């Protein structure tokens, strides 16, 4: 069962980890490429700030973004800012998100995200946690998938495996870290492919952060996953 209040605490803790790590950078570091193609570290920080505001919109019943073009334009506008401005914006927007999430609300209601995606309001804090943790890794400043909290990694594998479940282009697949197992891909009586690896490597592959070369595959080639 989703505990949105507990997830909000995890979001705050993850945000503090990111801000503390990013504070060791300088203005030149912010202009350097991140691990996301085409994005500098400034793009990642700008996206984190604007995503927090976008999720406030979601919680308060407004469209997440005015448009895809406006979303991209805001990130491009904010990416070149100096480090101190970037960090102040990430912190202030994170506080706005926490304040919006602290307001009395029906957490069982359905909310709309980007591209017509809907979800329970109770999962919005977890979605923000995902943004903060994975983009901390994307900054390329020493925080790796192996450093993610174990609970987060397991839940994000759950979430992504579920996201690809039923996808016609993904074969019936069993994922396992040797202790736990997940299923994803097309519905079938039995999996065609079994993918084994560490939790970090499984998450990295599912989230598009690693190519899967560290994984062991039985029953066929490593499935190609659709973009997130």
Q: How would residue 161 be classed by pLDDT, with cut points 50, 70 and 90? A: very high
Of 18, 4, 21, 9, the closest CA to residue 91 belongs to 18
Please write the tens of the pLDDT for every residue from 172-218: 999 999 999 999 999 999 999 999 999 999 999 999 999 999 999 99
Number of Cβ within 10 Å of residue 78's Cβ equals 18
Please write the tens of the pLDDT for every residue from 112-136: 999 999 999 999 999 999 999 999 9
pLDDT of residue 117: 94
Report CA 40 to chain centroid distance, whole Å: 17
Number of Cβ within 10 Å of residue 178's Cβ equals 9
Residues in a beta bridge with 112: 118
DSSP H helices, 60-104, are: 68-78, 83-102
165 pLDDT exceeds 90? yes
**141 close to 25: Cβ distance less than 8 angstroms:** yes
Q: What percent of the chain has pLDDT over 70?
A: 100
Q: How would residue 73 be classed by pLDDT, with cut points 50, 70 and 90? A: very high
CA pair distance 174, 181, nearest whole angstrom: 7
**Residue 99 burial by CB count (10 A; 0-12/13-18/19+): exposed, middle or buried?**
exposed
1 pLDDT exceeds 80? no
CA pair distance 107, 122, nearest whole angstrom: 5
Enter the pTM of the model.
0.96
Report CA 116 to chain centroid distance, whole Å: 18
228 pLDDT exceeds 90? no
In this prediction, residues 211-226 reach a mean pLDDT of 97
Q: What percent of the chain has pLDDT over 90?
A: 98
Report CA 130 to chain centroid distance, whole Å: 3
Beta strands, E only, 92-221: 110-112, 118-120, 173-176, 181-184, 193-196, 216-218
């Amino acid at each position: 069962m989703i505990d949105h209040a507990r997830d909000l605490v995890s979001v705050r803790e993850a945000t503090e980890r990111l801000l503390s790590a990013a504070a060791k950078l300088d203005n030149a570091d912010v202009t350097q490429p991140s691990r996301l193609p085409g994005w500098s570290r400034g793009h990642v920080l700008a996206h984190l700030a604007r995503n927090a505001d976008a999720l406030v919109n979601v919680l308060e019943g407004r469209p997440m973004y005015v448009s895809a073009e406006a979303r991209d334009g805001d990130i491009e506008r904010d990416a070149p800012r100096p480090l101190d401005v970037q960090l102040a914006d990430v912190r202030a927007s994170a506080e706005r998100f926490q304040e919006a999430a602290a307001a009395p609300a029906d957490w069982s209601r359905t909310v709309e995200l980007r591209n017509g995606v809907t979800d329970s309001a109770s999962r919005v804090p977890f979605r923000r946690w995902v943004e903060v943790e994975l983009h901390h890794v994307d900054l390329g400043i020493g925080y790796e998938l192996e450093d993610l909290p174990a609970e987060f990694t397991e839940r994000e594998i759950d979430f992504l495996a579920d996201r690809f479940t039923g996808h016609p282009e993904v074969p019936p697949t069993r994922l396992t870290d040797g202790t736990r197992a997940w299923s994803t891909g097309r519905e079938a009586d039995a999996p065609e492919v079994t993918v084994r690896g560490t939790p970090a490597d499984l998450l990295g592959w599912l989230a598009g952060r690693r190519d899967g070369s560290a994984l062991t595959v039985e029953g066929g080639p490593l499935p190609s996953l659709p973009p997130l």
